[in-house]
Amino acid sequence: MIEAHGITRTFAARRGMLGRGGVRALRGVDVTIPDRGAASFIGESGCGKTTLGRILCGLEDFDEGDLVIDGQSMTALKPKERAPHYRRIQLIHQDPYTALNPTRTISQILTDPLRLRAGQTGAGGTWVTERRAQLLELVGLDPDYVLPRYPHMLSGGMRQRVVIARALTVDPVALVADEAVSMIDVSLRLGILQLLRDLRTQLGVSVLFITHDVATARYVGHGGELYVLYRGTVVERGPTDALIASPVHPYTQSLLSAVPVLRGIESPARDRVVPKGPLDERAEVPGCLFEPRCPFAEPDCRNQPPPLVTLDSLGDAPGEAQAHACLHPARRSVVPVPAVRGTAPEDPERSVLPTQRPTEPGPSPT
């Protein structure tokens, strides 16, 4: 069980001091990931999701808040004592090539951490080779093929599997996959996503998936929770499928509206939400952070940042309740729907760029 409470992280600007000219990457983020759970983080670039992932792995410090791993608070420990705990949360990088040492074979890359582990547990000589083969088979690779090779001799998909195998050498409780498939060929992505999903059931490992591509988040995070981040705050969270089907916060709706519609097999959604204008990382506003770009903004949205509010739902366990941070939430259906054969429009002409008028839930002209 991994809990993050009120994590705040500010990066100092090159000139100027912390707090003035600094970029607030995370502002009081709360995350709960149960054992064997799945959590997906989506948002634009710069929303803080990568920083959050790195903080959870212990690769970045945080300024305020606390991180509790299996009941142990990280802030209560001295820096040197934290490492063994952070080791249980492993990061899978976006770029599988730079994640592997180009001058070493896969065999050497996997043997190093295994030997360390063997030293700690006092395991015998053959344990390392056996475990190595076991892990490779677990991630779907043939040990005879892969072990003698160098990283550049493998495809992107295979490299990423090696990275996952390496992460598993320390028996982690959670894997943080930061855009783990975005640099892999399209036909190979599903394999990696399925692998991550299977690791949850087979090894009981939690998976945190960070991405800007909602479709992949939907795939890996099935049965888990989806967090939508905007400028360092969680603006909406809830069960993955429920959230995608009927999001409530305008920012989530704009992200889901941005998913391309496949002609012939999908029909455009009923509603479409487009933010007014681009993201300004530096603008500090007194109220809701999304207000300057929100097409449904009301005057009271400027007064104060909306708190995260839970919608009435099935229960209180994480992943069952949908929560959002909007003063005027409205359910809109913004995700393309599968077309019924024969009725899909050949050319889903969608309106371009105008700001949307606020809509009531209900059919609206596109």
Partner 1 sequence: MTATTALTPEQLQRGLRRSRQRAARRWALLVNTPGRALSCLILAVFAALAIVGPYLYPANLPINPKNIYAPPSLAHLLGTDFEGADTLALIVTGARYVLFAAALAALITVVIGTAAGLAAGYYPGLAGSSIMRVTDFVLAIPGFPVLLVLATIWNFGSLWEMAVALGVFGWGGIARAVRAQTLSLRERGFVEAARGLGLPGGHIIRTEILPNVAPYIGMNLMLQLTGFIYIEVGLFFLGAVPYSTNNWGVMLNNAVFQANAVTSPRALAYLLSPLICILLITIALVTLANAVDEFFNPRLRRVR
Partner 2 sequence: MTGEADLATADALDRTGSGAAVAVRVQDLTVTFPTPDGPLPAVAGVSLSLVPGGITGLVGESGSGKSTLALTLLNAVPFPGHVAAGAVSVDGIGDVLALRRAELRRVRGAKLGYVFQASQNSLNPLKQVGKQLLDLGRSHGVRDRRALLRRARQLMDEMGMDAARVLASYQHELSGGMRQRVGIVFALVLNAHVLILDEPTTALDMLSQAAVLDIIRKVHREHHLTTLIISHDVGVIGDLADRMAVMYAGRIVEEGPTAAVLANPMHPYTRGLLTAMPRISGDIGAARPLPGRPPDLASIPRAGCVFRPRCPLATDGCAAAEPPDTVLLDRRFACYVTAGELA
How many helices (H) does the chain have, and how many strands (E)? 10, 14
Residue 222 interacting with partner 1 (CB under 8 A) = no
Torsions phi, psi of 348, nearest 5? -70, 85
Query: Out of 119, 338, 358, 361, which residue is the one contacting partner 2 (CB under 8 A)?
Result: 338
Query: Out of 2, 110, 146, 193, which residue is the one contacting partner 2 (CB under 8 A)?
Result: 193
Around Cβ 315, how many Cβ atoms within 10 Å? 8
| Start-to-end CA span in the chain (Å) | 43
Residue 218 interacting with partner 2 (CB under 8 A) = yes
Closest contact distance (angstroms) between CB of 332 and partner 1 is: 38
Residue 104 interacting with partner 2 (CB under 8 A) = no
Residue 148 interacting with partner 1 (CB under 8 A) = yes
Closest contact distance (angstroms) between CB of 71 and partner 1 is: 21
Residue 188 interacting with partner 2 (CB under 8 A) = yes
Q: CA-CA distance, 166 to 104, in Å (whole number)?
A: 13
- 347 touches which of partner 2, partner 1, none (CB within 5 to 8 A by kind)? partner 2
Residue 279 CB partners (closer than 8 Å, separation 6+): 44, 46, 231, 293
Among candidate residues 231, 106, 224, the one with its CA nearest the CA of residue 169: 106
Residue 191 interacting with partner 1 (CB under 8 A) = yes
Q: What is the DSSP letter of 82?
A: H
Across the chain, the runs of DSSP E, i.e. the strands, are 2-11, 23-33, 38-42, 64-69, 72-73, 89-92, 174-178, 206-211, 225-230, 233-239, 266-267, 309-310, 323-324, 337-338
- 7 touches which of partner 2, partner 1, none (CB within 5 to 8 A by kind)? none
Residue 100 interacting with partner 1 (CB under 8 A) = yes
Query: Out of 265, 283, 309, 314, which residue is the one contacting partner 2 (CB under 8 A)?
Result: 265
Residue 113 interacting with partner 1 (CB under 8 A) = yes
Which spans of this chain sit near partner 2 (rule: CB under 8 A)? 44-45, 155-158, 185-191, 193-194, 212-216, 218-219, 222, 244, 254-266, 274-275, 278-279, 335-339, 341, 344, 346-348, 352-353
